[in-house]
Structure 1
């Protein structure tokens, strides 16, 4: 995969990641370690909650999104370096979902004080196999210019 620098990016440019199949065991393992709430741990108890069944932690969805973007979604030369953002989870992530990420460059702002870099705003939507949007991440990323030859 070709690694991209600030000057290689343009508004409207899109990227699509590979996919990740999520199962009940992954959901429960993540929840036990990082978000031990009943709707992430017990399918029967989860039926009586807002989610109406077992759901992955939003932070689990975010972690999968990051991995997919790092490995196959956003080919930024110096890595995906966050400088802030906003995250929304419009639909729960469920066992059996196959996730992929679709990202779009929304804005590019070269730095005036640090000419070797800029801030790029990316919207990454994490979708399942049915096209349901499970997460929307609007991230401001530090992206570097190509080094002088």
Structure 2
């Protein structure tokens, strides 16, 4: 069995994976999901305030989610997420940028209404090759407990 609620330690920070963004994938993603000129057209991007092509923030989030699922959540007791509390796009992600994703555990608690699961509050950070944080995402994830308590009224 993969990670369960009990395995998450408040204060821990782990590297989850890395990804290098290419022109082709930036344009392809944006063409489908965020077709703003500075994501899909090199000339228009050059004339924009960004001075060149940049990845959509949603593309960056999607890449980070893929790393998290492949490298952490697969095989875990993850029950999904009730939502994202905050996304901050701090710096543009450009073609050739290599993003290192880190996941920190900010807090955790067993659910009061469903004691077979816990809520883990995490902070994802995407850091580029220059050591600059380009994105942060604060979210909650539900994880099943490895040894949940017996339901009330259950026979021992």
TM-score relative to the length of structure 2:
0.87
Select between 125-134 and 102-111 the one with higher mean Cα deviation. 125-134
Is structure 2 residue 113 aligned with structure 1 residue 120? no
SS in 2 for 1:81: coil
What per-residue deviation string (whole Å, max 9, x for no partner) do you get for residues 11-46 of structure 1?
111221221111100000001111111000112211
Partner of 1:139: 139
CA distance in 1 between counterparts of 2:49 and 2:138 reads 25
Cross-structure match for 2:11: 12
Q: If the length of structure 1 is used for normalisation, what is the TM-score?
A: 0.91
Partner of 1:22: 21
For structure 1, list consecutive stretches of 5 or more residues without a partner in the other structure.
Answer: none
Tell me which structure has the larger Cα radius of gyration. Answer: 2
Aligned residues: 147
Structure 2 residue matching 1:7: 3-state secondary structure: helix
Partner Cα separation in structure 1 for residue 114 and residue 75 of structure 2: 18
Partner of 2:80: 81
Deviating more after overlay: 85-94 vs 6-15:
6-15
Gap runs ≥5 in structure 2? 149-156
> In angstroms, what is the RMSD of aligned CA positions?
1.7
Per the alignment, residue 31 of structure 1 pairs with: 30
Cα separation, 2, equivalents of 1:121 and 1:99: 22
Within 5 Å, give how 1:51-130 maps onto structure 2: 51-73=50-72, 77-79=76-78, 81-85=80-84, 86-130=86-130
What secondary structure, in the 3-state scheme, does the structure 2 residue paired with 1:60 have?
A: helix
